[in-house]
Structure 1
Amino acid sequence: MAYYLAFDAGTGSGRAVLFDESGAEISASSQEWWHATDARYPGSMDFDTAGNWAALARCCREVIATSGVDPKDIKAVSATAMREAFVLHDQTGTEIWACANVDARASDEVRALKTSHPDLERDIYNRSGQTYALGALPRLIWLRKHMPDVLERAQSLTMLSDWVLYRLSGALSSEPSNAGTTGLIGLADRAPLRDVLNLMDLPESLFPHAASTGEVIGEVHAAAANETGLAPGTLVVAGGGDCQTGALGLGVVNEGDCAVMGGTFWQQVVNVPLSLTDPTMNLRINPHVVPDLNQAEAISFFTGAVMRWFRDAFGQGKSYSELEAASKSVPPGAFGIIPVFSDVMRYGEWFHAAPSLLNLSIDPERSGPDAIFRALQENAAIVAHRNLEAVFDLTGRRPDRIIFAGGASKSAHWAQILADVTGLTVATPRVKEATAQGCAAAAATGAGLFASLREAGNAWSQIEAEFTPNSDLNALYADASIRWAKAYAAQRDLVTANVTTSMWQAPGT
């Protein structure tokens, strides 16, 4: 039996996950990690390359030990990671600086760029699908001001998925589905925006050798083998950004395919042609790991984190399943409660209102934990629906179904709510955590098990259940969506008036 291993450098943890040649998960190990803030720089979020590599290596050793698999039977490894986070390397390849994904230290630099080059962000967005909100350019300019020696020494920029592969093989590479989130890679040709790099006096060679997902970039070298327990010479294969490898694992590999990935953040993605852009600059557009597709993406912030907050603050020691079971007695609409947490995607002006619960009743039966829990689940579906409708309006086509994955999709009740709110059939996959599976599918493709990524995604994805929308609830949820949008607009106004504090805002907004 052949095996394929995925490393996943996520926002809150690092993981190693082993799959067999049928796509079945054999063993997994994870370790939580945190990203330190430098007290000197508000909004900073540093990434500890030494400590976090050690954590990933431990996870790999544990997976091999618990699975009992001979490392020589692991034919290939790949890596996926949180997007936007990147590492700078000097001329020897040594890591000299790294930041995590929502590092927001560069607010002043964003404002300065918008003043000095008023048309540049729009130009970058039109070509890369990215704004300054999470892009690399403001952070690099921040380094020039605050840590000039680091930027002077920087010879290469890798995303975290590329960085893991560098640690394994010693080869520096740049895979576009993740590198595209820097805002410095073109959507059409997946090449660096050299004119922008020149304009900002950054080296054209900042991005190393381009490697497509599924491409072999090297082999596990002796030092990495000693650290991870992998066999020296194991193939190292280019991976990708977590959302895009997740789509691969779900079989979302054709134009028009649609998925909602429900984790700490909820990501709504639709596969689109390479030529598509958004004139409103609200949606994000990223390179897919499948080479002839891009993805229109909207992000709901902290959806899973809000559920965890509610459980810890108001759940009285109950588990998620216990809270959900109690909430099922609450009628659809949750007595009109309006949660205010994540906004819809507004990539060009990205900030959220202050966390709030509106329209509560003093009747405890209508505003107690059961009702609020259901309202939070419904609100997650309403925000996802509004985001998806923006994509459908842009593309002019609607899918037949939504693939719902991630931790939230383990709840059949939530899947049904998503179907009822969107009016579309919702399908949940057998493997809920698809990101690592898609990454392993890339490794398997590199090792020759599949002829293409599309073939790999179709072969390994399996639907476990489908949920048909209840048309009787269309009007109720349409009204709830309209009321939420009006309430949210008013809450955003309170933030801009400095009455309340935004849950999160992009640098420079």
Structure 2
Amino acid sequence: MSYYLAFDAGTGSGRAVIFDADGREIAAVGQEWWHASDPRYPGSMDFDCDANWGHLARCAREAIAKAGIDPAEIAGVSATSMREAFVLHDKTGAELWACANVDARADAEVRDLRAADPALEHALYTASGQTHALAALPRLLWLKRHMPEVLDRAAHLTMLSEWVLWRLSGALVAEPSNMGTTGLIALTDHKPVAAAFAQIGLPESLIPPMVASGTVVGAVSAEAAAATGLRPGTPVVAGGGDCQIGTIGLGIVAEGDCAVLGGTFWQQVVNVRADLTDPGMTLRLNPHVLPGLAQAEAISFFTGAVMRWFRDSFGQGQSYTALEEASRHIPPGAHGIIPIFSDVMRYGRWIHAAPSLLNLSLDPEKSGPAAIFRALQENAAVVAAANLRQVFALSGHTPDRIVFAGGAARSTHWTQILADVTGLPVVRSKISEATALGAAAAAATGTGAFASLAEAGRAWSDLEAPQDPNPGLRALYDEQSARWSAAYAAQMTLVEAGVTASMWRAPGS
């Protein structure tokens, strides 16, 4: 039997997950981690390469032991990671500096870029699908101002998924789906964007050689084998950005396929043509791990975090399960409660209103924990539906169904709400580790088990029967969506006037 090991370097934890040749999870070990802020620099969030590699290596050793397999049976290893986070290496490959995806130190640099050249951001977005909000350019300019000695020594930039490959094999490579989130490479041909490098004053060779997901890049070194418990010489295969490669694990492999990934943030993603553009700079467009495709992405902020906040602050000691069970008895529409948290995706100027709950009743039955919990679940679906409508309008295609994955998808009730609000059938994945499964699919493809990532995704995805929308609720939820949109616009005027504080705003917004 052949097995595949996937490393997943996420925002809040690192994991090692082992799958068998049929895509079944055999063992998983995770380690929570946090990214320290440098007290000198507000908004900074550093990534500790040595400590976090130690965590990942230990996870691999323990996963192999937990699976009870011979490391020689692991046919290939790959990696996925949070996007936007990157590592700078010197000419020997040694790490110089690294940041996590949530790093937001470059606020002044974004403002300065916009002031110096108002047209630059749109030009870079047209080329790369990325705005200044999450891109690498402002952070690199920050380094130029505050840590020039680091930038002077930088020879290569890798994303965390490729940093893992370097730690495993010594190979310095770039993979488009993750590197694309820096805004430094083009969406279509994946070549460096000259205008971005001109702003930094660094050579385009900062980007290592580009390889496709599913490509063997090297072999596990003796040093990495001693750390991870893997067999020396095990093939090391390029993986990809967590969102893009995660959809492989869901079987989202054709143009127009659609998924909602419900975690701390909710991501609404649709496979689109690689040459699709968005003149309004509303959506994020990322290179895909699949050839010829990109992924249009909209992000709902803090959706899962809001549910945890409500449970801990107002749930009166009840669990999620208990709160949801009580909320099932609240009628659709949740007595008109309007939650104000995440806005729809506005990538060009990304600001969210102050967290609020509007239109509460003094009747405790209509504004108690159960009613608010249902309102929050419905609001997550309302924002997701609005984001998806933007993607569908841009692509000119509405899918036949939505695949729902992540922690929120464990709830059949929430799944039904998403179907009712969007008006589309919703299918849940039976796979809890879809992101790691996508990376394992890359390892399996690279070592010859499949002819393509798409073939691997179709073979390994495991979906439940669809939950169909209730057409009788469509008018109610359309009206609810319109009221939320109007209320959100009014709340944004308070933020702009300085009366309330934004829940989150992108650097420079």
**CA–CA separation in structure 2 for the residues paired with 1:318 and 1:56:** 34
The superposition leaves residues 394-424 of structure 1 with CA deviations (integer Å, 9 ceiling, x where unpaired) of 1111000000011111111110000000000
Matching residue of 2:318: 318
Matching residue of 1:217: 217
Matching residue of 1:152: 152
**CA–CA separation in structure 2 for the residues paired with 1:360 and 1:437:** 43
Offset at residue 463 of structure 1 (A) = 1.1
Matching residue of 1:418: 418
**CA–CA separation in structure 1 for the residues paired with 2:46 and 2:96:** 12
| 1:88–1:98 CA contact under 8 A, matched in 2 | yes
How many residues align structurally?
509
| 1:343–1:353 CA contact under 8 A, matched in 2 | yes
The superposition leaves residues 368-395 of structure 1 with CA deviations (integer Å, 9 ceiling, x where unpaired) of 1101111111000000000000011111
**CA–CA separation in structure 2 for the residues paired with 1:54 and 1:406:** 27
| 2:137–2:196 CA contact under 8 A, matched in 1 | no
**CA–CA separation in structure 2 for the residues paired with 1:286 and 1:450:** 24
Matching residue of 2:60: 60
| 2:86–2:158 CA contact under 8 A, matched in 1 | yes
**CA–CA separation in structure 1 for the residues paired with 2:3 and 2:13:** 23
The superposition leaves residues 116-153 of structure 1 with CA deviations (integer Å, 9 ceiling, x where unpaired) of 12211100000100000000000000000000000101
The runs of 5 or more residues in structure 1 that have no matched partner are none
**CA–CA separation in structure 2 for the residues paired with 1:52 and 1:230:** 18
Aligned partner letter, 1:333:
G
**CA–CA separation in structure 2 for the residues paired with 1:302 and 1:170:** 36
Identity of aligned residues (%): 68
SS in 1 for 2:297: strand
SS in 2 for 1:259: strand
| 1:75–1:234 CA contact under 8 A, matched in 2 | yes
Q: Which runs of structure 2 are paired with 1:137-148 in the superposition (5 Å)?
A: 137-148=137-148
**CA–CA separation in structure 1 for the residues paired with 2:410 and 2:433:** 10
| 2:140–2:200 CA contact under 8 A, matched in 1 | no
**CA–CA separation in structure 2 for the residues paired with 1:45 and 1:196:** 23
| 1:135–1:183 CA contact under 8 A, matched in 2 | yes
**CA–CA separation in structure 1 for the residues paired with 2:37 and 2:258:** 36
SS in 2 for 1:467: coil
**CA–CA separation in structure 2 for the residues paired with 1:383 and 1:56:** 35
Q: Which runs of structure 2 are paired with 1:189-268 in the superposition (5 Å)?
A: 189-268=189-268
Aligned partner letter, 2:408:
A
**CA–CA separation in structure 2 for the residues paired with 1:3 and 1:463:** 22
SS in 2 for 1:462: coil
**CA–CA separation in structure 2 for the residues paired with 1:459 and 1:489:** 45
The superposition leaves residues 437-486 of structure 1 with CA deviations (integer Å, 9 ceiling, x where unpaired) of 11110110011000001101111012123100000000110011011111
Matching residue of 1:73: 73
**CA–CA separation in structure 1 for the residues paired with 2:167 and 2:488:** 45
**CA–CA separation in structure 1 for the residues paired with 2:448 and 2:502:** 49
Aligned partner letter, 1:137:
L
**CA–CA separation in structure 1 for the residues paired with 2:499 and 2:195:** 42
Matching residue of 2:360: 360
**CA–CA separation in structure 2 for the residues paired with 1:176 and 1:125:** 16
Matching residue of 1:186: 186
**CA–CA separation in structure 1 for the residues paired with 2:95 and 2:33:** 19
Which TM-score applies when normalising by structure 2? 0.99
Matching residue of 1:3: 3
Matching residue of 1:332: 332
**CA–CA separation in structure 2 for the residues paired with 1:141 and 1:314:** 43
| 2:240–2:289 CA contact under 8 A, matched in 1 | yes
Which TM-score applies when normalising by structure 1? 0.99
Matching residue of 2:455: 455
Matching residue of 2:403: 403
1:486 equivalent to 2:475? Answer no
Aligned partner letter, 1:311:
R
| 2:77–2:236 CA contact under 8 A, matched in 1 | yes
SS in 2 for 1:398: coil
Aligned partner letter, 1:236:
V
SS in 2 for 1:238: strand
SS in 2 for 1:178: helix
Offset at residue 199 of structure 1 (A) = 4.1
Kindly report the root-mean-square deviation, in angstroms, between the aligned alpha carbons of the 2 structures: 0.8
Offset at residue 342 of structure 1 (A) = 0.7
SS in 1 for 2:465: strand
| 1:42–1:105 CA contact under 8 A, matched in 2 | yes
Aligned partner letter, 1:92:
T
**CA–CA separation in structure 2 for the residues paired with 1:453 and 1:403:** 18
Matching residue of 2:504: 504
| 1:405–1:433 CA contact under 8 A, matched in 2 | no
Offset at residue 177 of structure 1 (A) = 0.1
Aligned partner letter, 2:30:
S
Aligned partner letter, 2:180:
G
Matching residue of 1:381: 381
Matching residue of 1:37: 37
SS in 2 for 1:239: strand
Moved beyond 6 Å, runs of 4+: none
**CA–CA separation in structure 2 for the residues paired with 1:291 and 1:190:** 11
**CA–CA separation in structure 1 for the residues paired with 2:83 and 2:352:** 20
Matching residue of 1:390: 390
SS in 1 for 2:138: helix
| 2:124–2:195 CA contact under 8 A, matched in 1 | no
Q: Which runs of structure 2 are paired with 1:457-476 in the superposition (5 Å)?
A: 457-476=457-476
The superposition leaves residues 269-313 of structure 1 with CA deviations (integer Å, 9 ceiling, x where unpaired) of 011111101111010000110011001100001111111111111
**CA–CA separation in structure 1 for the residues paired with 2:305 and 2:369:** 17
| 2:300–2:343 CA contact under 8 A, matched in 1 | yes
Aligned partner letter, 2:489:
A
SS in 1 for 2:398: coil
SS in 2 for 1:145: helix
SS in 2 for 1:321: helix
Offset at residue 194 of structure 1 (A) = 2.7
Matching residue of 2:308: 308
1:297 equivalent to 2:297? Answer yes
Offset at residue 349 of structure 1 (A) = 0.3
Offset at residue 195 of structure 1 (A) = 3.9
Offset at residue 326 of structure 1 (A) = 1.1
**CA–CA separation in structure 2 for the residues paired with 1:409 and 1:331:** 21
**CA–CA separation in structure 2 for the residues paired with 1:352 and 1:283:** 15
| 2:13–2:33 CA contact under 8 A, matched in 1 | yes
The superposition leaves residues 74-111 of structure 1 with CA deviations (integer Å, 9 ceiling, x where unpaired) of 11011111100000011111111111112111111011
SS in 1 for 2:6: strand
Matching residue of 1:442: 442
Aligned partner letter, 2:58:
R
SS in 1 for 2:352: coil
Offset at residue 319 of structure 1 (A) = 1.8
